[in-house]
């Protein structure tokens, strides 16, 4: 039975400061390093065959810190076109190295003009209802940014091309993604409607285990 482990990254410093991250490449909050150990214990009780990750540093750092407790070193393999893909190649890895396939397709929704700004101040200016629609609805875009549909339209083709291919082979896959890439994946797997996806949230360091049969029919979902 194929398994997918879907993980939202650990709390970033801007998450802690209640600022919009989006595509701004911010670090993890220092307080999260103990949480990484807890996640490692949950994840590595299972055999993980493949790891995919957002190219944003908070996601890559989440992977690196989790792997510390499995005594592995991540080798980040770039899947997006460009020199990092063409030149960052390798042939041989040691028993302690593990490839981690990274892509911007698993990045957070681009929040446009909201990036870097205080959520509390924006709620005061625009109201909680409008802010909720900008952050969680499927079609409504924040000013200058992406809708969840836009995020879905880049995340799910990647999921089908790479992750579904591995799952069909019976592999266990760990995906570390930003929130709206994770929500897009959940929408696709669980067949959640455009209307109902607004209610779906994943907490920081939230970890979901999905079990699939050979035809990739969802058999079980579990929050770890």
**Catalytic residue among 9, 146, 164, 179, which?**
9
**Catalytic residue among 108, 146, 164, 179, which?**
108
The CA-atom distances, in angstroms, between 132 and each of 81, 122, 129, 183, 190 are 34, 11, 5, 15, 22
The CA-atom distances, in angstroms, between 215 and each of 23, 28, 101, 159, 163 are 35, 37, 24, 16, 14
- How many Cβ atoms are within 10 Å of 41's Cβ, its own excluded? 11
Beta carbons within 8 Å of 65's beta carbon, 6+ residues apart: 10, 28, 32, 33, 36
Q: What is the spatial distance between Cα 33 and Cα 187, in angstroms, rounded to a whole number?
A: 29
Annotated active-site residue 9? The verdict is yes
Helix (H, G, I), strand (E, B) or coil at 175: strand
Show which residues are catalytic. Answer: 9, 108
């Amino acid at each position: 039975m194929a398994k997918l482990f879907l993980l939202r990254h650990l709390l970033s410093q801007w998450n802690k400061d209640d600022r919009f991250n989006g595509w701004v490449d911010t670090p993890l909050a220092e307080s999260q390093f103990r949480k990484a150990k807890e996640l490692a214990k949950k994840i590595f009780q299972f055999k993980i065959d493949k790891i995919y990750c957002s190219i944003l540093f908070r996601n890559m750092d989440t992977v690196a810190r989790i792997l510390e407790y499995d005594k592995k070193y991540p080798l980040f393999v770039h899947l997006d076109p460009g020199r990092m893909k063409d030149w960052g190649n390798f042939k041989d890895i040691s028993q302690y190295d593990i490839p981690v396939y990274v892509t911007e397709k698993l990045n957070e929704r681009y929040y446009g003009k909201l990036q870097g700004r205080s959520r509390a101040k924006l709620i005061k200016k625009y109201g909680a209802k409008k802010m909720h629609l900008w952050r969680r609805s499927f079609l409504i875009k924040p000013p200058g940014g992406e809708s969840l549909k836009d995020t879905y339209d880049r995340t799910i083709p990647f999921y089908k091309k790479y992750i579904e291919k591995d799952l069909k082979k019976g592999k266990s896959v760990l995906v570390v993604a930003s929130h709206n890439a994770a929500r897009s994946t959940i929408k696709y797997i669980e067949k959640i409607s455009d209307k109902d996806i607004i209610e779906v949230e994943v907490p920081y360091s939230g970890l979901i285990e999905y079990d699939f049969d050979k035809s990739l029919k969802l058999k079980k979902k579990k929050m770890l």
